[in-house]
Chain A
């Protein structure tokens, strides 16, 4: 049986050997780091964004590269998923965008700070993270085939405006795709006329005081495009 000095040799030898391998792998990882993380894109804005991220302990709720607190969504690919303009609106008043949902602190970032946070998240999203996060691999259709979908949209002749896919889908679904915070918009065109939809988008509160729908920053053209699109959803 093992003697005490052999046991000690096992402990010291093992520790030394594996520490050495670990240090060697660390040196190699650091060497490859600039390429894998696109360090050349670490602009002033990205670095400022990281500072804001840390100063407010965003990781105390959110998760980034899978590390964090699991209370709020993982933001690794958020710029790709939501788009810059959505995040920009969202940060102004997080609760307005997800009324009655899990709360986020309203930080009152300036326009510049918001840009820096977004630049940081955009840079993080482009790190080579060995293919993480993986794409969902169980197709929902395969489970839902037996149930006829109730939200199938009619064939829409008008293409979805860009702003709609950036902002509105976060809360509303069309054709089963989108959020479920607000009602699905599949037949909204047959319920309301264009004039009403237009007034609604200008100021939801004026039409229906107390509504959870936020007033969105849309230009006249953008609003017109969305109204045209919504009117076609019959």
Chain B
């Protein structure tokens, strides 16, 4: 850690850990409901658990991005954060809004639009909050001693993410238009500007961990995020096949979705090549595992598994089945969850001065959670493909088919248990690091740049 104000990132990361734990709890509630153990139905019906599970994911990832930005931007700008106090105010209000939203879900208070369930009044608070965050980051960059591509890409990504939240706040009478503009937020976030944020964070980590020349890494950063937008913007079309929009979206969405894996492939090749070119080994191997792992898993989960069912002729059968849930799990895990965990793994030793990455538990966390997540994806894949055949191709009744695939949810729960063990190791390590200390100021553990 070079600057004292970077310490604020710790509290964002700690919030991440808490929200991730809660997200897993709600995941289990849904998993058990699917095998018929829905004893909580009267208190937490499936729609509550579902809204909580997905919104917690969004909130903890955004919290992680904010923490990452608070850690990275001072270092890239070579100065302290514009205002530490503002950062704390922003975190606290962010958590308050999040908690109110989650509690509200349990009392039937929500907007009822998939992924954007947060009620409208809270939406306004989110906007104010994110503007505060962006102001703080922008002022830091504005008064920075140096400019870097990584810094600007990261900021541009965060800014676009904030702007693209707005179309989700317009009310439409018409379900088709409602859905159309909801995807402006959801798709253009996860398959657009979040990838920009991902690219920025990845570039920072690669610079620190591999020691490859900044100019080389940042050049390829432009190429990778260029590919992302080239494919991702019109790739939104794969959500527009069957919701009442014109037929040309089948062609536009099909072609550009087919290109989307290229962006992720680019990301994976980029990361691996930079690793290959490294000068010497960085001691924090675990951070490197998560960084390279994220680049590769995002290609498998977001790129390949997305590609597997966005072609219109395939999608007409898989649309709205568990195949989507299968893709969603590995995509979010690989692209964003692993990346946030990578930043945390890199930043914690720097902030606290404790080199816990030498132990075994970091590796256990990495492998158990990854194998667990692959297992969950596999279980959902088999369940999803079976569902497509029985329900869609043969025309069997929905509930009959659901009984046929119960077995795979036992598998999913087992894999989820392994995943949880991995995450538990991660969180225990996080806690063992302790609080950031001023003694760790001025030195980064083993950085190669």
Contact = CB atoms under 8 A, between A and B. Distances in A.
Given A7-B226, A65-B243, A103-B38, A36 B176 contact: yes
Task: Describe B's contact surface by its main secondary structure.
Answer: helix
Contacts of A71: 30, 33-34, 46-47, 50
Given A54-B112, A70-B324, A127 B394 contact: no
Q: How many interface residues does chain A have, given as a range?
A: 35 or more
Interface string B218-241: 111011011001100110100111
Contact of B230 (A18, A37, A133): A18
**Most chain A Cβ neighbours within 10 Å, of B225, B229, B320, B325:** B320
A2 interface: yes
Contact of B114 (A11, A69, A105): A69
Interface in A18-70: 18-19, 21-22, 25-26, 28-30, 32-33, 36-37, 39, 42, 47, 50, 53-61, 63-70
Nearest to B389: A138
Contact of A70 (B117, B239, B247, B320): B320
B439 to A, nearest CB: 38
A156 interface: no
A130 interface: yes
Interface in B230-263: 230, 233-234, 236, 239-250, 252
B15 interface: no
A61 B46 contact: yes
Contacts of A148: none
Interface stretch (B57-65, B138-146, B332-340, B395-403): B395-403
Instruction: Give the interface centre of B51, B149, B222, B317 by most chain A CB atoms within 10 Å.
Output: B222
Nearest to B321: A70
B173 A47 contact: yes
A66 B51 contact: no
A137 interface: yes
29 contacts: A4-B218, A7-B220, A7-B222, A10-B222, A14-B229, A15-B229, A18-B229, A25-B248, A30-B177, A30-B180, A32-B245, A42-B173, A55-B108, A56-B47, A57-B110, A61-B46, A65-B242, A66-B242, A66-B243, A66-B319, A67-B320, A102-B399, A102-B402, A105-B47, A130-B250, A132-B316, A134-B316, A179-B397, A180-B397
- For the complex of A and B, the 4 pairs showing the least CB-CB separation, nearest first, are A60-B47, A66-B320, A136-B395, A54-B112
Interface of B: 30, 33-34, 38, 41, 45-48, 50-51, 105, 108, 110-114, 117, 149, 173-177, 179-180, 215, 218-220, 222-223, 225-226, 229-230, 233-234, 236, 239-250, 252, 316-317, 319-322, 324-325, 389, 392-395, 397-400, 402
Given A15-B226, A58-B112, A68-B320, 12 more contacts: A4-B149, A4-B215, A7-B220, A10-B222, A50-B175, A71-B47, A72-B46, A103-B45, A132-B241, A135-B395, A140-B395, A181-B399
